[in-house]
Amino acid sequence: MSDNSIRFRPVSRRRVLAAGAAGGAVLAAAGTVPRVLRAQPAAIKVGLLHPVTGAISYSGQQARAGALMAIEDINAAGGIASMGGAMLEPVLGDAQSQPEVGAAEVERMNEEGVAAIIGAYASSISLATTQAAARYDLPHIVDVGVSDQIVSRGLANVFRFGPGFGKIADTAITNLVTINEAAGSPARTVMIVHEDSLFGSGLADLLNARLPEHGFEVLDTISHPTPTRDFNNVVLQLKARQPDLIIPANYYNEYVLLARTMLQQRVQPKAVYSVLGGAASSFRFLEEFPGAAQYIMDCNHWYDPSNPKSAELRQRAEGEGLYFTYEFFLDYCCVGLLADALERAGSAERPAIIEALAASTWDGHIMPYGPTEFVDGQNQGARPVNTQILGDDIEVIFPTEVASAEPVFPMPERG
């Protein structure tokens, strides 16, 4: 009887060692150790903290979407090269549109070991989250929160990429004076409609103080809470006083309702000149309510249209069914700012990241800011631009070096 079974030679320890050494030598000679066989660097956790539920959830969700897309892009490009290609891992947080919930989320993120936090969209939430993060020297990049108090408390861990409302109010007034004078100064009276939290009220105070210095008379300032779902009374007041300019400063939903009610009640000012108007520079608003959106001017966060990367990013965002709003692209840029700091720090240690952010000169963003430069946590080059909704697009009308259209002022009759 023949033995048909296959026989294996016993594998000795010497043979294993020899085979291993030979294999290693071949791979080393080729210099191509497969990536999967190399030790993977630990992922860097990044806290993305936004109000994705509650009264300002739309903006929070847009901000989160922008940050997530940026993380995807950075990871797809090989992660943080100086840290062996370490990937960024998002740790998501919901501030529920409340400061104390935002602060509690910072505690959770700190325990989860995030290297830095990006957020928290609203000024009042950002005040609470930056302070909570300061206890742990946790770097906190503020994406949108415009209150200047955020960067005036001497917190070394806080960096704001965008402009604060002091800068925004100055720019808005300077550009308004220029536009008005160029048209022969037809506008003299103003009414301000603002939401009543830190962002809207702070801005309204600044405008009330500075507009009279430039010859404008503020007829009235009307505040409203967020959320507000009926603007009929507000618009009736506007109609009764007939100001030349209406200046809204509020969040997305309230802005849309106010603009629609103004159109329905046929309020015809010489301009709707928003300052940080929640929907005034929003493609969603333009798409859904083109009639109410026409000719609205806004001084707001906006990308540099002459930068080819911005058109590409807009196309990608819209390709994924997202609106290319300021929340989206500011958060996209904030992740890039952090990635640049991580790249230069070569470490996910918090003091190293803070040091790298403080010395940041990053120009890979799509905003009209120039390279970043932080003084007391504020990006010095950050500035708003003036936009106007013209036809089916949002055009930049100021500053002239990045403008894509001439302002239309006074606006033609609408509706």
Applying CB under 8 A, does 103 fall inside the site for other proteins?
Answer: yes
Does 204 bind other proteins (CB under 8 A)? Our answer is yes
Helices marked H in 320-391 = 326-345, 350-358
Alpha carbon distance 155, 157 (integer Å): 6
Q: Does 153 bind other proteins (CB under 8 A)?
A: yes
Does residue 406 belong to the site contacting other proteins (CB under 8 A)? Answer: no
Instruction: Specify the residue, 98 or 282, whose C-beta has the smaller distance to other proteins.
Output: 98
CB of 320 to other proteins, least distance (A): 17
Q: Are strands 374-375 and 158-160 parallel, antiparallel or unpaired?
A: unpaired
| Structure-token pair, residue 323 | 């609106």
Q: Which residues of 195-226 are buried (b: 16+ CB within 10 A; e: fewer)?
A: bebbbbbbbbebbeeebeeeebebbebbbbeb
Q: Any contact of residue 53 with other proteins (CB under 8 A)? A: yes
Residue from 117, 120, 127, 367 in contact with other proteins (CB under 8 A): 127
201 binds other proteins (CB under 8 A): yes
Q: Is 343 exposed, middle or buried (0-12, 13-18, 19+ CB in 10 A)?
A: middle
Q: Are strands 44-50 and 88-94 parallel, antiparallel or unpaired?
A: parallel
Residues 70-99 that bind other proteins (CB under 8 A): 92, 94, 96, 98-99
Interhelix angle 350-358/326-345, nearest 10 degrees: 110
Task: Kindly state whether residue 202 participates in binding other proteins, applying the rule CB under 8 A.
Answer: yes
Q: By CB under 8 A, name the one of 171, 197, 325, 378 that touches other proteins.
A: 197
Cα–Cα distance measured from residue 208 to residue 159, given in angstroms and rounded to the nearest whole number: 28
Residue from 5, 31, 39, 111 that binds other proteins (CB under 8 A)? 111
Nearest-approach distance from CB 209 to other proteins, in angstroms = 13
Which one of residues 41, 43, 45, 57 is an interface residue with other proteins (CB under 8 A)? Answer: 57
- Residues near other proteins (CB under 8 A) are 52-53, 57, 61, 92, 94, 96, 98-100, 103-104, 107-108, 110-111, 124, 127-128, 131, 134, 147, 149, 153, 155, 194, 196-198, 200-202, 204-205, 223, 225
